Amino acid sequence: ADTSSSSTELQIPRTASSPTQTLPVASRSSGPNIPHVKRPTTKDIYDDDDLTSPRLCRNDNKSGDTLLRIFRDQCPRLIDSTSKHLPPSYWSPWTHPPACAGINLTDAAKTSKLEFCIFTHAHYRGGISIVATPETASDLASIIDKASISGPSMPPPTDRLPLLDVQEVPGKGLGVIAKEAIPRGTVLLRDNARVLADVRFPQHIRRAQGQALLQKASGRLPVPDDVRGLSRSVKAKPGEARGLLEENVLSTNSFAATVDGVAYMALFPEIARINHACNPTALTRFNVKDLTQKVIAFRDIELGEEITISYTDFGLTHEERQEKLLRRWGFSCTCDLCSGGAEATAASDARRRRVTGLRNEVVGHLQKGKFAVAISAYENELLDLVRTEHLAEHMGEHYEVLARLHLAAGNQTTAGVYAQRALDELETFGTTDTQSAAGSVQELRAFVKAFKAQEKLLKSKTNTVREKTAPNSRKETANEIGRH
């Protein structure tokens, strides 16, 4: 620990909670999964300085209010089953009339209709079909409008994978392989959501209706095979329900994505070729501003190595992972970690259990105010285990916690170094929309800026002191030289 004094100037301001409560939980992967719902802030949708952008347009055009209608250019209309006979300009920006299925909801006071419709934008970055309620589709239309104006269009598929090849991988079907050595932090691939389906729709409409909607969703895309081609059965079998193929594709290939607090299953056709590994080489990041997802290498990848991501939460034991992968995605994992033999699996599980124990120990030390002991356990054991077992997508959250701990212990210089490292990681890899410690980039930036300013001040003070003492020392030197 360093010995510089603590000052109130350099506080990381997010401490309604004490450092004990800011210990990180294992990062969640955004692999194919049913999402965890978290309501994002406005910032998740638009930049801070951009709050004038159209959003929260829900229900406005139902009211017939003149004032609200003036804003319709900015606020997309609420489009539902009643809109399909209206002229196409009414559905804009969607390129097809809505196709809907719904149920009546009755409570003591009234009966209302809950509808899910297909909204397709055939020209948006390779095309996108959305299964959503009219209200949430209105928010998505705003995002698409805005991204269409500002964002680049998608490059043709052949240019999208300059670093990667899709090949057969023994025991896993197709997989994605590195065509050259790729350094950590490289964006390997950016893909556009072709289907975005509200996770609530299967519970609220009949299965056959849902399948019909999904079939329409892929059929309306410029290249329906972007979705259908992901099916391992290739064609629907005779007698199979219409849309069963799309339903299967979605359930085994989609990713969790949250937009404006609504959880969706998102299908990215190219990213869907990436297999799972319990010790993966890459991670995914969904961008709520344009509905794209990128894949980032989180360690150096060798030529010929497979690009893998984790479909499960980090930190699970071998048995827990196998059980989850089989139940949720229907396969037994054959990744290197799972096929490394009983001894290697047991050693890995023991390290994972030790991490849970160590976390509790660290919290216990902090509760007793023993910062130095907590920091030592964290730095000397926990960090190594997290790295060895890949228990976090990247180390940003851990460095951030260490910055806070060192700050609380009065080690400002070390806190500054960890804050800078956390910032580097977070800026390279970002955070998932479900991460509890997310949203700290700005806070870290402010802290690092203040820390650097203080370091600079200290340096200039030290230089001034040196300069003041310099003439004497020069004299001494001159005298010394003169004596010889």
Ligand X SMILES: C[S@@+](CC[C@H](N)C(=O)[O-])C[C@H]1O[C@@H](n2cnc3c(N)ncnc32)[C@H](O)[C@@H]1O
Task: Tell me whether residue 45 or residue 335 sits nearer to ligand X (CB atom).
Answer: 335
253 binds ligand X (CB under 6 A): yes
Q: How far is CA 269 from CA 224, 228, 239, 426, in A?
A: 11, 10, 26, 26
Measured from the CB atom, is 94 or 255 closer to ligand X?
255
Question: How many Cβ atoms are within 10 Å of 141's Cβ, its own excluded?
Answer: 25
Binding residue (CB under 6 A) for ligand X from 173, 229, 261, 369? 173
User: Which of left, alpha, beta for 13 (phi over 0: left; psi -120 to 50: alpha)?
Assistant: alpha
Residue 134 Cβ, how far from ligand X at the closest point, in Å? Answer: 30
Contact 13, 404 (CB under 8 A): no
Contact (CB, 8 A) for 280 and 311: no
Q: Which stretch binds ligand X (CB under 6 A): 210-218, 275-283, 350-358, 450-458?
A: 275-283
Give me the residue whose beta carbon is nearest to ligand X.
173
Angle at 209 between CA 206 and CA 213, to 5 degrees: 135
Could you say whether residue 276 binds ligand X (CB under 6 A)? yes
CA distance 276 to 329: 10
CB of 326 to ligand X, least distance (A): 10
The C-alpha torsion from 334 through 233 and 166 to 307, rounded to 10°, is -30
> Interface residues for ligand X in 277-306 (CB under 6 A)?
277
Q: How many residues bind ligand X (CB under 6 A)?
A: 19
- In the complex, least distance from residue 287 CB atom to ligand X, rounded to whole angstroms: 20
**Around Cβ 22, how many Cβ atoms within 10 Å?**
20
Residues 222-251 that bind ligand X (CB under 6 A): none
Q: Which is nearer to ligand X, 252 or 454 (CB)?
A: 252
Radius of gyration of the chain (CA): 27
Q: Cα–Cα distances in Å, from 386 out to 350, 356, 363?
A: 13, 11, 17
Contacts to ligand X from residues 343-382, by CB under 6 A: none
Least distance in angstroms from the C-beta of 27 to ligand X: 19
Please tell me the distance from the alpha carbon of residue 4 to that of residue 334, in angstroms, as a whole number.
50
331 near ligand X, judged by CB under 6 A: yes
Phi/psi for 132 (5° steps) reads -155, 170
Pairing of strands 128-132, 195-198: parallel
Q: Which one, 85 or 327, has the nearer CB to ligand X? A: 327
In the list 98, 175, 202, 280, the residue contacting ligand X (rule: CB under 6 A) is 175
- Of 168 and 384, CB closest to ligand X: 168
Q: Which window, 18-26, 119-127, 156-164, 168-176, contacts ligand X (CB under 6 A)?
A: 168-176
Q: Does 334 bind ligand X (CB under 6 A)?
A: yes
Residue 42 interacts with ligand X (CB under 6 A): yes or no? no
**Nearer of residues 173 and 369 to ligand X, judged by Cβ:** 173
252 part of the interface to ligand X, by CB under 6 A: yes
Q: Smallest gap, in angstroms, from Cβ of residue 330 to ligand X?
A: 6
Considering the complex, what minimum distance in angstroms separates the CB of residue 348 from ligand X? 15
- The helix (H) or strand (E) run that includes residue 364 is helix 342-367
Is 162 among the residues that bind ligand X (CB under 6 A)?
A: no
Minimum distance from residue 460 beta carbon to ligand X (Å)? 56
Least distance in Å: CB of 344 to ligand X?
16
Helix, strand, or coil here: 247?
helix
Cα(187)–Cα(294) distance, integer angstroms: 7
Residue 272 touches ligand X, criterion: CB under 6 A: yes
The amino acid at 173: G
- Give me the residues that bind ligand X (CB under 6 A), please: 32, 171-175, 252-253, 272-273, 275-277, 329-331, 333-335
